[in-house]
Amino acid sequence: MNQRNLIILAGSVFGLLAILLVKYGNPPNMGFCIACFLRDITGGLGLQRAPVVQYIRPEILGLVLGAFAAALVSREFRTLGGSSALTRFVLGFVAMIGMLVFLGCPLRAILRLAGGDLNALVGIAGLVAGVALGIPFLRKGFSLGRALPQNKANGYVFVGIIVFFLILLLAKPAFIYFSTEGPASMRAPLALSLGVGLLAGVLAQRTRLCLAGGVRDFILFRDFYLLYGFIAILVVALIGNLVLGNFKLGFAGQPIAHSDGLWNFLGMMLAGLCFVLMGGCPLRQLVSAAEGNTDSAVTVLGLMAGAAFAHNFGLAASAGGVPAAGQAAVLIGFAVIVTLAFFICRANLIAREVSAGGRNKGRAGATLS
Amino acid sequence: MEEIKDARGLLCPEPLLITKQEMERLGSGTFKVLVDTAAARDNITRLAKKQNWKIEVSEKEGEFLLVLTK
């Protein structure tokens, strides 16, 4: 099967699985959402105490373990690291704040749209704008530098953490939180969620599914490959929602969403900017971490820390809208990331001029111009 | 003698940008790109086909040497 058919198939299965999860108990238009589910996991661990978003989501655990297994079988597991880990943490942190102002990751944006939520269209427009904002930095020499092979044991640490989360979920010790109300109280049966996650992980690893990457590759290279996957998710989830009577077109009263267009746009734009700088959306970061990339694992920790802060400090949006603190956080996020990207570009350009003056050989970093 | 473009350790889209830049610089001819992830290998292969460059892939100890010719 050629790559394009494979990613269309993978996208279709993703769409179907998301509808299935909602049918069996997950929140509406949230069959699968990397941002929301990472946020729920931080709640389940007690790192944030919003009572409505606490559950160690098996979908995420399954996704990582499925991608890990697929990487092992395909011999694509490689322990890499050392590419600006702390900067990636910050990018993940800020991206999560943007996503929680919108209320979803790119994957959920597609699923919300498939449910008729037109606010998602505003968010997707923001995502495209954010990716477009980030691309000039890439062209001007933005690079987080090379990852190098590391001691193989490092690559298993992230998977080990995920297995530990799974043990906590199954053993249910007293210090683990389970929401009894709100979105995180709505959950498909554990075995189903875990199984769906595993399958989704295998598919995402094999196809490198990534929505931010799809938009980026289209703008940079006119390459549709990754976008096919998301169009497939949209079409299948849309059909599923129509069949099950879950489709409701409009802006107002959409499940776990608000209709503040400006902040839907800006939240997702901030996230899109971060994605393009860190090399992929949250889904891709999880898969990459499962493949042994320790920088991506740090990015995931940044996403989780961002989620914890977003809820502990009242930055996250709710159906009621975006709090003033959340709006301020998005604007500060833009200032931080644009400044950071500017200085990274500048340092790379200076380093390149120095190396061009000397011998222009060896692993001198990405030579973009 | 053609230089090997080293795109090891770089996350997408940097290996692609390096490859595309070299394609545009050369116009035609042969060049090599060294990458170390299957994702980069697949993405560059797709880009090469789209831009009508012939591509040969060889693997050695987890790294991929891509030879592009037009």
pLDDT tens-digit readout, A277-288:
999 999 999 999
pLDDT tens-digit readout, A263-315:
999 999 999 999 999 999 999 999 999 999 999 999 999 999 999 999 999 99
Q: State what percent of residues in chain A have pLDDT above 90.
A: 91
Q: What is the CATH number of the domain that holds B37?
A: 3.30.110.40
pLDDT tens-digit readout, A126-147:
999 999 999 999 999 899 999 9
> Is B9 part of the contact surface with chain A (CB cutoff 8 Å)?
yes
**Contact, A148 vs A81, CB < 8 A?**
yes
Residue A369 lies in a domain: no
Chain A residues within an 8 Å CB radius of B7: 366
Residue bearing tokens 């875990």: A194
Q: Which of B13, B16, B37 sits opposite A78 (nearest CB)?
A: B37
Whether residue A352 has pLDDT greater than 90: no
Q: Which of A3, A80, A222 sits opposite B9 (nearest CB)?
A: A80
How many structural domains are present in chain A? 1
Complex-level ipTM = 0.89
For residues A165-185, average pLDDT = 97
Contact B12 A143 (CB under 8 A): no
Q: How is A262-275 classified by DSSP, letter by letter? A: HHHHHHHHHHHHHH
Domain holding A176, by residue range, is 3-357
Residues on A contacting B at a C-beta cutoff of 8 Å: 3, 74, 76, 78, 80, 82-83, 138-139, 143-149, 208, 213, 216-217, 220-223, 225, 278-280, 288, 291, 295, 362-363, 366-369
B34, exposed or middle or buried, with CB in 10 Å at 0-12, 13-18, 19+?
middle
Q: Which of B11, B12, B19 to mutate to test the interface with A (most CBs of A within 10 A)?
A: B11
Whether residue A90 has pLDDT greater than 50: yes
Mean pLDDT across chain A: 94
Q: Which of B8, B17, B38 sits opposite A368 (nearest CB)?
A: B17
Which pLDDT band holds residue B2 (cuts at 50, 70, 90)? Answer: low
pLDDT at A367: 46
pLDDT at A358: 57
Contact B17 A220 (CB under 8 A): yes
Residue A324 lies in a domain: yes
Strand bridging mode B30-35 / B4-6:
parallel
Range with the poorest average pLDDT among A82-86, A157-161, A356-360: A356-360
Which pLDDT band holds residue A355 (cuts at 50, 70, 90)? Answer: confident
Chain A residues within an 8 Å CB radius of B46: 3, 223, 225
Q: How is A221-259 classified by DSSP, letter by letter? A: H---HHHHHHHHHHHHHHHHHHHHT----BSTT-TT---
Domain holding B52, by residue range, is 4-69
Q: Within its chain, how far is the Cα of B16 from the centroid?
A: 7
Whether residue A21 has pLDDT greater than 90: yes
pLDDT at A368: 45
Q: What is the pTM of this model?
A: 0.94
Whether residue A1 has pLDDT greater than 90: no
Task: Give B51 to chain A, closest Cα distance, Å.
Answer: 10
How many structural domains are present in chain B? 1
Q: Within its chain, how far is the Cα of B31 from the centroid?
A: 8
pLDDT at A144: 95
Task: Give B42 to chain A, closest Cα distance, Å.
Answer: 9
Report the 10 Å Cβ neighbour count for A156. 14
Whether residue B1 has pLDDT greater than 80: no
Residue A109 lies in a domain: yes
> Is B4 part of the contact surface with chain A (CB cutoff 8 Å)?
no
Pairwise CA distance, residues A95 & A306, whole Å: 8
Whether residue B19 has pLDDT greater than 80: yes
Q: How many CB pairs under 8 A join A and B?
A: 78
Q: Which of B11, B21, B46 sits opposite A225 (nearest CB)?
A: B46
pLDDT tens-digit readout, B25-54:
999 999 999 998 888 999 999 999 989 999
Task: Give A169 to chain B, closest Cα distance, Å.
Answer: 32
Q: Which of A76, A82, A366 sits opposite B38 (nearest CB)?
A: A76
Whether residue A360 has pLDDT greater than 70: no
Whether residue A239 has pLDDT greater than 60: yes
